Amino acid sequence: MVAISKIATGNGHGEDSPYFDGWKAYETNPFHPIDRPDGVIQMGLAENQLCFNFIKKWVMEHPEASLCSAEGVNKFEETALFQDYHGMPEFREAVAKFMGKVRGGRVKFDPDRIVMSGGATGAHEMVAFCLADPGEAFLVPTPYYPGFDRDLRWRTGVELVPVVCESSNNFKITRAALEAAYEKAKEANLRVKGLLITNPSNPLGTILDRDTLKGIVKFINEKNIHLIGDEIYAATVFMEPEFVSISEIIEEVECNRDLIHIVYSLSKDMGFPGFRVGIVYSYNDAVVSCARKMSSFGLVSSQTQHLIATMLSDDDFVDSFIVESKEQLFKRHKYFTLSLSQVGIGSLKSNAGLFIWMDLRKLLKEKTFDAEMDLWRVIINEVKLNVSPGSSFHCDEPGWFRVCFANMDDNTMEVALLRITTFMHKHNEAMVPRKLCRRASLKLSLSRRRDDFMSQNMMSPHSPIPQSPLVRART
Amino acid sequence: MLSSKASCNSHGQDSSYFLGWQLYENNPFHEVENPTGIIQMGLAENQLSFDLVESWLRKNPEVMELKKGGESVFRELALFQDYHGLPTFKNELVEYMAKMRGNKVKFDPNNLVLAAGATSANETLIFCLADPGEAILLPTPYYPGFDRDLKWRTGVEIVPVHCWSSNGFRITMFALEEAYERAQKLNLKVKGVLITNPSNPLGTTMTKEELDHLITFAMAKNIHVISDEVFSGTVFDSPGFISILEAAMDRNLENTDVWSRIHIVYSLSKDLGLPGFRVGMIYSNNKTVVGASTKMSSFGLVSSQTQYLLTNVLASKRFTSKYMKENQKRLKKRKEMLVSGLKKSGIECLKSNAGLFCWVDMRHLLSSNTLEAETKLWNQMVCDVGLNISPGSSFHCSEPGWFRVCFANMSRGTLQVAMRRIKDFVERSNFMGRIKMNYQQNMSSLSRKLLSNWVRKLSSPDPNEHER
């Protein structure tokens, strides 16, 4: 049998990571409040499901945004034909405006620098193809999103060199860490072409402060390497301190703008992962030009461009949405973290993202990644929650877990919390019997909160793997 | 500073194929607003049957508000990013594809992988089948986009299989073998052969014989066959369309090695005329290829919103049957209009039964049988005559003088204008040709000089001539 490519037969797709194993466990036994109340609750998927009613209302009130409505069908032909890789001007303008609003109007984005891609997944791969040759490398601060291993490396042949960040200083990206990574790359004979940061951070849920950002910009200018800022969670900053974008920093410090590139998407801020709206925004003309040509491999469906252009041009809607989304995320985050703290579970102090970085170090039998895997298996199989182990994010310290909170309704959240508290009580009882008296008061406080939050009527959690109601095909 | 991919020109955009588009964009024809502008005949789009789709949409309010049984499915769609694709969509697609092949081939939806257009599907398939530095054989003339899609980011090479007008550009065993040997001499490991059937730019469907040659060749050399069948829904005349899988089934090859080395690429951009929606797909009986390409499709999934809309359109069987029939009728008529229009100007086309274009023989209009002469003629066609047609060299045709001319991306009125312009051009060229011949035969060197000045002045056409 003739061989197919090394890329196809290798495991550069990264799906053998435990990050995806948890999803598979969920897939075989997914939670449903009625049909499968003992199933696994999906907390490993960073989706934003908290504002759908808000968005749906707008969609119903604006039939012209859909090509299929009586109001929109007159645009069908020109939209169906539109395959220009520049993208619809109204789409680019609307996205540029949205990106500016998300940054509090402190920065303006040029619609002509907006390049489409197949989601942020496609955007990252495209940027890697533009900036680096096979065998060259990007630096990436840990812990980082597991998908980067595939998106930046698989078909591009580019290497990733971790910039190790530690819990001792809340995973700050220090100059020392950057230099150490750069040296390590040099020793391994890898030519570093760029640094990729995710801000707000996945999985930490934190934002980079101004000084750190300035330090990063200084570093990349000194080394003459590119800076790729993945700002996919920009609108999920629900609490102070305010988000500071790379686009703002370069107005404040000296910087070679040809080195600056932003990756964005509507998958997290708006909760539209299915629509595949990825964006590459580069300050480098040659990169814009090259990326635009490459975007042929992952253009945004013109039908979707039309919907998004209409939606994001509605200033009133956008302004209210940004506020509403922050509020919902804030409420959910507060409730979740408070409830966890009441059973002695801490997490990294965060103000953004769709997840928390949960600290379960003290539950480890020993300070090893094997122990982390053991604990993770317990969480999946006994507690029945799919959470993501820190090792899959290349965290250098065992015991951390990313737990998503925005991809489920209130009822499911309650069930998840109940399971956690039950588990913690069992664990605490095993450790320290005194905690019994706390349980009674905890039950009380939980039921009070349940009344506050049981307002929305949302459906069961979704995942990209076959439990979506859309997947129950009629054959 | 940037990658070598960013700095080189393997994106293929410096080709005349794309330059023509740019020239068109700077001065696009419009019946009312810019009647002297350039007419776009270099874009293989199908604009003939939109009214059919639009009328279906108007009659189907359920799809209009993203409703399914009364409940809005907006949220589910917005969240749906499963790279396996919407199962109902894939079910409809395989049925549609089978119908197009007269139900002689059955497709399994589990072997179908969605991609962002055929552009993405082709690139993904190459990533799966070949390593950087390996090669794919491609019969000429071929679609210029392949230079980008198959080579640019994959690092794979293309080795052309030369086909000639003397036998209607049919693929022969000899041509395949010759190309293979050439690859060997260049130290290139051949991993597969890619065909476009129906052919772009020829507009012809492959004969059983050609398909058999390809399969035999693939078996003998132990290589893959990729059949780009994006134009399979545009076959409007006999002989009918034979898919590579049908040819393989006729030879009872289902349980042999080569069966898992045959892959099909398809899209809804050509027959359904929906290039903007980016709906491409790979079909393969090779589980490893399906697995790998499914994962790779993450880089270019089809928007769930679009999957949902098209599921509903394709589910309407009466509509799809009606559409296929009517679309083919309209394509045939429009092609005949182009062919007869060109014939009146003494220009012949390759006999074709499919596609959205004709392969036009303008060799007799060349000043010499060279690439330079073809380029000169092309320049005249775009800049002087105002027609963006695509020169054969951009399709890597081995013989100068052939041009691809599209007919399905414009109104009847615009096509008529185009035909008139060509007629005028040819008449002018004939006139000038006769003058030139006489002058060469009769003139002394001094008179030649005087006359050549006059000729030069005469040969720059009056722009006002086009306004009719």
Size of interface A-B (CB pairs under 8 A): 265
CB contact under 8 A, A76 and B53: yes
Tokens at A421, concatenated: 């508290």
Provide the pLDDT for residue A453.
Answer: 28
Is residue A230 domain-shared with residue A300, that is, in the same domain? yes
**Contact call for B277 and A69, based on CB within 8 A:** no
pLDDT, tens only, B39-71: 888 888 888 888 888 888 888 766 655 666 656
Question: Would you call B44 an interface residue with chain A, using a CB distance cutoff of 8 Å?
Answer: no
In angstroms, the CA A412 to CA A385 distance is 11
In terms of CA atoms, which chain A residue is nearest residue B269?
Answer: A81
pLDDT at A258: 97
Q: What is the CATH number of the domain that holds A35?
A: 3.90.1150.10
Specify whether A370 is catalytic: no
Alpha-carbon separation of residue B412 from B190, B326, B334, B415 (angstroms) = 45, 16, 8, 5
How much is the mean pLDDT over chain B? 90
Q: One of A41, A207, A220, A232 is an active-site residue; which one?
A: A232
Q: Are A284 and A115 in contact (CB under 8 A)?
A: no
> Exposed, middle or buried by CB within 10 Å (0-12, 13-18, 19+), for A260?
buried
pLDDT for res A56: 86
At which of A299, A314, A329 does a domain end? A314
Q: Which residues of B touch A13 (CB under 8 A)?
A: 292, 295-296
- Average pLDDT on B152-165 reads 97
Query: Chain B residue closest to A273 (CA)?
Result: B79
Q: Do B57 and A76 touch (CB under 8 A)?
A: yes
Q: How confident is the model at residue B442 (pLDDT cuts 50, 70, 90)?
A: low
| Same-domain pairing of A229 and A300 | yes
CATH code, B105: 3.40.640.10
**Dihedrals φ, ψ of B196, to 5°?**
-115, 115
Token look-up 């198959």 returns: B150
Would strands B224-228 and B190-196 be described as parallel, antiparallel, or unpaired?
A: parallel
The span from the CA of B323 to the CA of B271, in Å, is 10
Residues 6+ apart with CB under 8 A from B94: B106, B107, B108, B109, B112
Phi, psi for residue A39 in degrees, rounded to 5: -70, 175
Asked whether residue A225 falls in the same domain as residue A300, the answer is yes
Angle, in degrees to the nearest 10, between helices B117-129 and B287-296: 130
Quote the CA–CA distance of B152 and A223 in Å, as a whole number: 29
Domain at A277, CATH number: 3.40.640.10
| Domain ranges, residue A292 | 65-314
Nearest to B276 among A5, A66, A302 (CB): A302
Any idea which of A465-469, B204-208, B445-449 has the lowest mean pLDDT?
A: A465-469
Percent of chain B with pLDDT over 70: 91
Q: Supply the CATH number for residue B400's domain.
A: 3.90.1150.10
Q: Is residue B23's pLDDT more than 60?
A: yes
The per-residue pLDDT for B450 is 65
Largest CA distance in chain A: 71
Q: Examine the domain organization and report whether A227 and A336 are in the same domain.
A: no
Cα B128 from Cα A198, distance rounded (Å): 30
Distance between CA atoms of B277 and B271, rounded to whole angstroms?
13
The secondary structure element, H or E, covering residue B423 is helix B412-442
Using an 8 Å CB-CB cutoff, list chain A residues near B130.
Answer: 5
Which residues sit opposite B265 in a β-bridge? Answer: B228, B282
The C-alpha atoms of residue A334 and residue B230 are separated, in whole angstroms, by 53
Instruction: Residue window 250-279, chain B: list those with CB within 8 Å of chain A.
Output: 257, 260-261, 269, 273-278
Measured in Å, how far apart are chain B's first and last C-alpha atoms? 53
- pLDDT tens-digit readout, B286-298: 999 999 999 999 9
CB contact under 8 A, B131 and A69: no
A268 is known as an active-site residue: yes
State the total domains in chain A.
Answer: 2
User: Is A349 assigned a catalytic role?
Assistant: no
- Cβ distance A278 to A118 under 8 Å? yes
Six-digit token pair at B400?
């100068």
Q: Of B300, B320, B340, which marks where a domain is finished? A: B320
A193 is catalytic: no
Chain B closest-CA separation from residue A76 CA (Å): 7
Judge: B72–A121 Cβ closer than 8 Å, yes or no.
no
Q: Which of A149, A151, A230, A409 is catalytic?
A: A230
pLDDT greater than 90 at residue B464: no
Whether A13 maps to a domain, the answer reads: no
- Where do the DSSP E strands lie in A98-216? 114-118, 137-141, 159-163, 192-198
Does residue A454 lie in a domain region? no
pLDDT at residue A69 in the model: 82
pLDDT at residue A17, as a whole number: 74
Q: Which residues are CB-neighbours of A361 under 8 A, at least 6 positions away? A: A367, A397, A398, A399, A400
The DSSP 8-state label assigned to residue B149 in this structure reads I
Let me know if residue A458 belongs to a domain.
no
Q: How far apart are CA A403 and CA A387, in angstroms?
A: 5
Domain that holds residue B294: 51-320
Judging by beta carbons within 10 Å of its beta carbon (0-12, 13-18, 19+), is residue A436 exposed, middle or buried? exposed
Query: β-pairing, A400-404 with A355-359?
Result: antiparallel
Dihedral of CA B185/B162/B155/B290: which sign? negative
Nearest alpha-carbon partner for A48 in A174, A282, A320, A235: A235
H or E stretch covering B139? strand B135-139
| Catalytic residue of the set A75, A193, A268, A384 | A268
Contact A56/B74, CB-based, under 8 Å? Answer: yes
Together in a domain, A367 and A294: no
pTM given for the model: 0.88
Q: Which residue of A has its CA nearest to B277?
A: A301
Query: Mind listing the pLDDT tens digit for each residue in B127-138?
Result: 999 999 999 999
DSSP string, A383-448: S-EE-EEGGGGT-SSTTEEEEE-SSS-HHHHHHHHHHHHHHHHHHHHHH-GGGHHHHHHHHHHHHH
Q: pLDDT (tens digit, 0 to 9) for every residue of chain A, 475 residues total?
A: 567 888 888 888 888 776 777 778 888 889 998 999 999 999 988 888 888 888 888 888 888 888 888 888 888 888 998 999 999 999 999 999 999 999 999 999 999 999 999 999 999 999 999 999 999 999 999 999 999 999 999 999 999 999 999 999 999 999 999 999 999 999 999 999 999 999 999 999 999 999 999 999 999 999 999 999 999 999 999 999 999 999 999 999 999 999 999 999 999 999 999 999 999 999 999 999 999 999 999 999 999 999 999 999 999 999 999 999 999 999 999 999 999 999 999 999 999 999 999 999 999 999 999 999 999 999 998 999 999 999 999 999 999 999 999 998 899 999 999 999 999 988 877 765 544 444 443 333 333 333 332 222 222 223 333 345 565 433 3
Which tokens go with B160?
A: 């052309």
Q: Say whether B2 and A79 touch across the interface (CB within 8 A).
A: no
**Phi, then psi, of B76 in degrees rounded to 5:** -60, -40
Same domain, B263 and B335: no
Interface with B, mutate which of A82, A276, A288 (most B CBs under 10 A): A276
**Torsions phi, psi for A420 (to 5 deg):** -65, -45
